Amino acid sequence: MHFSLIGLPGSGKSTIGRHLARLWKLRFVDTDHAIEQRLGCSIKAFFAAQGEAAFRDIESQVLAELLQQDPVCVLSTGGGAILRAQNREVLRARSTVFYLQSLPEDIARRLRNDTTRPLMQGDDPLKRLHTLLQERGPLYLETAHYAIDAARQNASQVSRKICMQAELAGLLPGHGICNAIED
Confidence (pTM)? 0.92
Q: Distance between CA 78 and CA 71 in Å, rounded?
A: 21
Q: Tell me which residue of 1, 63, 70 sits closest to 34, measured CA to CA.
A: 63
* Helix 85-94 vs helix 125-143: crossing angle, to nearest 10: 50
- Digitized pLDDT (tens) for each residue of the chain, 183 residues in all: 899 999 999 999 999 999 999 999 999 999 999 999 999 999 889 988 999 999 999 999 999 999 998 889 999 999 999 999 999 999 999 999 999 999 999 998 887 777 776 666 777 888 999 999 999 999 999 999 999 999 888 899 999 999 999 999 988 865 566 666 665
Q: Distance between CA 25 and CA 15 in Å, rounded?
A: 15
